[in-house]
Amino acid sequence: MTERLDQIFVVLKHWLLGYLPESWQTPVGVVISVVCIIGLYPALFAITTVLERKGVGRIQNRLGPNRVGPYGILQPMADGIKSLTKEDIVPTSADAVVHFLAPIILVVTVFMGFAVLPMGRNMVLVDMDAGLLFYFAMGASTELSVFMAGWSSRNKYSLLGAMRAVAQMISYEVALLLSSVVIVMMTGSLSLVKIVEAQNHYSYGLPHWFIFTPWGFAAFIMYAIAGTAETNRSPFDLPEGESELVAGYHTEYSGFKFALFFLGEYVAMFSISGLGSTLFLGGWMAPFAALQFIPSWIWFFGKLFVSMGVFIWVRGTLPRLRQDQLMNFAWKFVLPMCLLNLFVAALWRFMGDGWLRWVVCSAILILAYVSIGREGMRRKQFGPRSYRYAE
Amino acid sequence: MSSFGIKNEKLAGWNRPPVFESDGEGELLEVAMGPHHPSTHGVFRMDVVLDGERVIKLKPVFGYLHRNHEQLGQTQSYLANMPYTDRLDYFCSLTNNWAYALAVEKLVGQEVPERAEYLRVILAELTRVQNHASTIGFLLQEMGASGTPLMYAFREREKILDLFESLTGSRMMCNYMRFGGCRVDASPAWIEATRKVVAGLPAFVDEFERFLMTNEILMARCQGIGVLRPDLAVNSGISGPMLRASGVNYDIRKVDHYGIYDRFKFRVPLGDHGDIYDRYMVRMLEMRESISILNQALKDLPAGPVMDPKAKIRNFRPKAGESYGRIEAPKGELGFYLISDGSPNPYRYRVRPPSFINLTVLEDMCLGSNVADVVLIFGSVDIVLGEVDR
């Protein structure tokens, strides 16, 4: 029973394909999977927008949307209908073709990343040998669309936003890649399916996820920071910082094109979270051996929503960094830590089993964290102050 | 790069900021921030010339909200002006009322009963607390904190506005003070409610301080940015928390002893750096002092009339003469200058708006900083456009 529930989507797909001639099965199978992905993630996006507005509302001591449907859960429908019926304005001086293409390219490249993400046992669109590489190639091309949007709008705010976005995304792309390379070093494979399988064993009922190793934990932290910056979320939401640049690169977008940008941003968050849980949190694996009876896809999407929850929580909590601080942080802290982590992972691999490698690797990382952090803070001239009073 | 050469040392660092010019590479970008930019607090425009993201020139453009306030004031009677003063700094209508009432009382030599003076102090300090709380909230909103501190500040402001509403009948346009006292008396129930609200305020300030004061991002964004040197501050007539953040000890409550402020014990917090963080912290500490004044005033509140029985309301015609009444409004020195020629209307009615004058040094503070900093520096000035443009 549990086995069948776990594989229900796979079985369903094969049952459907069984009615088709042999030569049709592969292309139609791909189309079915693609349609599922394209249908599923916008639905999750709709749920997330209402969750985010509710969650941030609670953090901010207010109710959030509660008028459309029970508890406001139909709010995304209302938003969707509104954005579909709004006038689509293209500025007269804008480059209309590029202006039109930018949101489409964003959404397309963002969705491409899901092709290689395993969303459950045997649930992956393409088990590509170079899956991780493909994912990062697609992730990097979202920058193109952001810059297209900023450049073609002929708006100074858009241009500044796009400039910031490209600088930020390229800087953090490096950190994102380097933090994931550690996993590739350990598993010896770029295939995301293999990476999940490498974590798929338990000892004493606890899983062997990569996050539960010193290098894996460090890489996960770096990945989380870089992933937040990559998706332009608070506190790294400078490209669209509404108090400075109105709306950044999508200032001149309205109606459905704006909705596409919005969709692209959230789907990118899902995608980054999905990759993060695949790399570090065991993908579709259950956190305890005893809980393996729950279907694998529930675990995958559960992890996705937990990480979305963290995104929302951070957004409701932190103020925004400034551009130069952001860049300093990327190049002077995250990058050195990532590089050192590569070395630590190699050390871990060649030290063999035993408690010694735990001690050595943890010590190196903690030492590096403290010293790089302290060195970085030493040159900064800020800290708590005391104040004097005049009587 | 973070502070663009502006050193963050103790007063030795009050040197002139370097002159910022384009490095000659690339083109300059002229951006009109406003009049409908999300962080210009209304309709205000800053014409900014940018080299990359660095500001090398900034021109504030005022007047989008000009309502002919002073000319209007000269065409109607003294009393009819009172509700108009609400609309100057619409966040703090009660202090506006007080400053105007003070000017007219000086003009005619009107006495104010004891209880009215106490009520005025209570209302002014409540106004100060809610203004400072909201200013800090807005500042963090502009820093990108997506509204959370602002909503917390507004929760407290809401309680104070409820008090205003139950006393004066209006939440923001209070129109409460009169020449020679206050319009209506406060009921014992109101006093009790005020006591309760004031008792809750220290917890709110503590919470704000605990979460925000030592936040690393906040310190990194605010310290050493938008430095205003004390000499420039004094020369340009800056007043209020902004002046005190630059280290100048000048609080009109202490200097003028207007009203009954010499009866209360309170201290004036001073900053040493004159940057955004100091402005933010001075407001924070002033809230604490206001709470202490409130406690003292609520304790000593005497019984009695709130309006001088000899005060003339109908047919109010002051003798020819002039007067200047000023108070320490939450935003700085708010003054009203009046010339009377013996007619029912003022011959000259002039407002000295702290928001407007504090805004004149905007360019000096912004040169060499980022676009992101401009928004913060602008927010740390604490303005209300109704008062800037009048």
Q: Which two tokens stand for residue A116?
A: 């290689």
Asked if residue B239 is part of any domain, the answer here is: yes
Structure confidence by residue, pLDDT tens digits, B257-285 = 888 888 888 889 988 888 888 898 899 99
On whether any CB of chain A is under 8 Å from the CB of B8, the answer is yes
Whole-angstrom Cα distance, residue A113 to residue A139?
7
- Between the alpha carbon of residue A177 and those of residues A115, A132, A236, the distances in Å are 18, 9, 18
Percent of chain B with pLDDT over 90: 18
Please report, for the domain that includes residue B135, its CATH number: 1.10.645.10
Structure confidence by residue, pLDDT tens digits, B219-230 = 888 888 888 888
User: What pLDDT shows up at residue A193?
Assistant: 86
Residue whose token pair is 């996705």? A304
Chain A residues within 8 A of B220 when measuring between CB atoms = 321-322, 325, 380, 382
Beta-strand pair B321-329/B332-340: antiparallel
What is the tally of structural domains in chain B?
A: 1
Chain B residues within 8 A of A383 when measuring between CB atoms = 219, 223
pLDDT at B12 over 80: no
Structure confidence by residue, pLDDT tens digits, B83-126 = 899 888 888 899 999 999 999 988 888 888 889 999 999 999 99
Whole-angstrom Cα distance, residue B112 to residue A373?
61
On whether any CB of chain A is under 8 Å from the CB of B6, the answer is no
Evaluate whether B56 touches B65 at the Cβ level (below 8 Å). no
Whole-angstrom Cα distance, residue A257 to residue A251?
11
- Per-residue confidence at B23, pLDDT binned at 50, 70, 90? low
User: What pLDDT shows up at residue B4?
Assistant: 36
DSSP labels for B261-314? Answer: GGGS---EEE-SS-SHHHHHHHHHHHHHHHHHHHHHHHHH---S-SB-TT---T
User: What pLDDT shows up at residue B290?
Assistant: 92
- Per-residue confidence at A86, pLDDT binned at 50, 70, 90? confident
- Per-residue confidence at B160, pLDDT binned at 50, 70, 90? very high
Q: Which residues, in sequence order, are CB contacts of A137 under 8 Å at separation 6+?
A: none
Whole-angstrom Cα distance, residue A16 to residue A36?
14
User: What pLDDT shows up at residue B46?
Assistant: 85
Nearest CA to CA, how far is A374 from chain B (Å)?
A: 14
Whole-angstrom Cα distance, residue B358 to residue B388?
9
Asked if residue B40 is part of any domain, the answer here is: no
Residue whose token pair is 């605990």? B210
Asked if residue B56 is part of any domain, the answer here is: no
Whole-angstrom Cα distance, residue B59 to residue A157?
18
Shortest CB distance from A160 goes to which of B145, B147, B371? B371
User: What pLDDT shows up at residue B1?
Assistant: 32
- Give the residue-averaged pLDDT of A178-194: 87
Asked if residue B59 is part of any domain, the answer here is: no
Structure confidence by residue, pLDDT tens digits, A43-60 = 888 888 888 888 888 888
Residue whose token pair is 């042999």? A22
User: Taking CA B81 as the corner, what is the angle to CA B76 and CA B85, rounded to the nearest 5 degrees?
Assistant: 150
Residues 259-298, chain B, touching A (beta carbon < 8 A): 267-273, 277-278, 281-282, 285
Asked if residue B313 is part of any domain, the answer here is: yes
User: What pLDDT shows up at residue B24?
Assistant: 60
Strand ranges in chain B using DSSP code E only, listed in sequence order: 29-33, 45-51, 54-61, 177-178, 181-182, 268-270, 321-329, 332-340, 348-352
Nearest CA to CA, how far is B41 from chain A (Å)?
A: 11
Evaluate whether A54 touches A276 at the Cβ level (below 8 Å). no
pLDDT at B3 over 80: no
Question: Which residue in A has a C-alpha nearest to residue B275's C-alpha?
Answer: A382
Residue B124 structural domain: 11-25+69-389
> Does the beta-carbon distance from B217 to A59 stay under 8 Å?
no
